[in-house]
Amino acid sequence: MGRLSYREGMRQALREALAGDPRVFLMGEDVGRYGGTYAVTKGLLEEFGPERVRDAPLSELAFVGAGIGAALGGMRPIVEVMTVNFSLLALDQIVNNAALYHHMSGGQFSVPLVIRMATGAGRQIAAQHSHSFENWYASIPGIKVLAPGTVEDARDMLAPALADPDTVVIFEHAQLYNMEADVPEARNTDIRSAAVRREGKAVSLITYGGSLPKTLEAATQLAEEGIAAEVVDLRVLRPLDMATVLASVRKCRRAVVVDETWRTGSLAAEIIARIAEEAFYDLDAPPARVCSEEVPIPYAKHLEEAALPQPAKIVAAVKAALGR
């Protein structure tokens, strides 16, 4: 297949979805003429026209809700919310309608909607544009939550998300869009399982999305010091593939969870709770986590870097878990 960026992978998936199913359409702020805030949808307006690549006004609540309504009405909308920060304006529709309609209607209605949004910090765009709320979304029964952390997943996870009969929220870490990789031909992938991205036996590093490259970098540094870290990429944040996580934890007997959401109530907290519930006696050390510091993400570069998970922090957490 050759070399592809995360952005191109996602665009390729969107193009294939639009070409393959007349029910699919894109809707969101600046997805058309502007070409997408992160240029993911660039060129799609020209190819598919303004009906199917639909620029929406700055009305997150209404156009996300309209996506839900259109899904109820037989379409397969892909709604792009510019960033997770603005998704808070649409949260009511996602939580109270998309997630509840199937169950609350006694199974009569389903909401086959895909919501994509950029997430995460790291570009000095300050506190209001640097949030990570994947943990919030992952706590809601009724929706599924994906976080592609590789170029391949950026390309391959959209198709199963669209085929899913329920609402799927896809988080794309903004720092990943320029990441490139040599990837094989597009293939069928699942949206149920985690993936072991690097094998090891000294410690299990569990992470997802934008923290995956940082964690892999930390694992490389640890390898240079003779510590073989295993890296588990969650890929799917709801439902969590705890079987893969627990197998890795049982093998390594130590676990460090890396997650860019704030530490309190983080996804890392949930994963550690489950490890404690299900694999407590397999552990040789208390599980640890590397999350964002409990501060609004600052603008100044050195402060922003200090607030976020970084390879050095992950290395330090691993060494602490190993007593080194």
Partner 1 sequence: MKIIDAPPSGPVPYEREFALKLLTDMLRIRRMEEKSAELYGEGKIRGFLHLYIGEEAVAVGALHALESRDNVVATYREHGHALVRGVTMEAIMAEMYGKQEGCSRGHGGSMHLFDARARLFGGNAIVGGGLPLAVGLALADKMQGVERVTACFFGEGAMAEGAFHESMNLAALWRLPVLFCCENNLYAMGTAIERSESQTDLCAKAASYDVPTLRADGQDIVSVHETTQRAQREVRGGRGPFFAEYRTYRFRAHSMFDAELYRDKREVEEWKTRGPLHTFSARLKAEGKLTEEEFLALDREVGAEVDRAVAFAEGGTWEPVEHLTRGVYTNTETEREGT
Q: What residues are annotated to the active site?
A: 60, 129
CB nearer partner 1, residue 93 or residue 211:
93
SS3 (DSSP) at 61: helix
Which of 40, 68, 147, 218 binds partner 1 (CB under 8 A)? It is 68
277 binds partner 1 (CB under 8 A): no
CB nearer partner 1, residue 65 or residue 213:
65
Span 20-59, contacts to partner 1 by CB under 8 A: 25, 51, 56-57, 59
CB nearer partner 1, residue 79 or residue 174:
79
Cα separation, 237 vs 312, whole angstroms: 25
Stretch that binds partner 1, among 35-43, 104-112, 154-162, 275-283 (CB under 8 A): 104-112
Which of 109, 178, 303, 312 binds partner 1 (CB under 8 A)? It is 109
Strand segments (E) across 149-281 = 168-173, 180-183, 195-198, 203-207, 229-233, 236-238, 255-262
Which of 12, 21, 37, 69 binds partner 1 (CB under 8 A)? It is 69
CB 162 within 8 A of CB 16: no
Span 170-199, contacts to partner 1 by CB under 8 A: 192
141 binds partner 1 (CB under 8 A): yes
Stretch that binds partner 1, among 10-18, 68-76, 196-204, 295-303 (CB under 8 A): 68-76
Which of 18, 26, 40, 66 binds partner 1 (CB under 8 A)? It is 66
Tokens encoding 84: 């997770």
Helix axes 311-322 and 211-224, enclosed angle (nearest 10): 50
**How far apart are CB 311 and partner 1 at their closest, in Å?**
31
94 binds partner 1 (CB under 8 A): no
Cα separation, 26 vs 47, whole angstroms: 12
CB 133 within 8 A of CB 95: no
**Residue 46 buriedness (CB in 10 A; 0-12 / 13-18 / 19+):** exposed
Residue 183 DSSP code: E
**Greatest pairwise CA separation for the chain in angstroms:** 59
Which of 5, 12, 37, 110 binds partner 1 (CB under 8 A)? It is 110
CB nearer partner 1, residue 24 or residue 203:
24
CB nearer partner 1, residue 98 or residue 117:
98
CB 310 within 8 A of CB 301: no
Residue 47 DSSP code: H
Which of 19, 46, 49, 105 binds partner 1 (CB under 8 A)? It is 105
What are φ and ψ of residue 303, in 5° steps?
-75, -40
CB 169 within 8 A of CB 267: no
**How far apart are CB 262 and partner 1 at their closest, in Å?**
21
CB 210 within 8 A of CB 260: yes
Q: Report the interface residues with partner 1, using CB under 8 A.
A: 25, 51, 56-57, 59, 61-75, 77, 92-93, 96-97, 101-110, 141-142, 144, 165-166, 192, 238-240
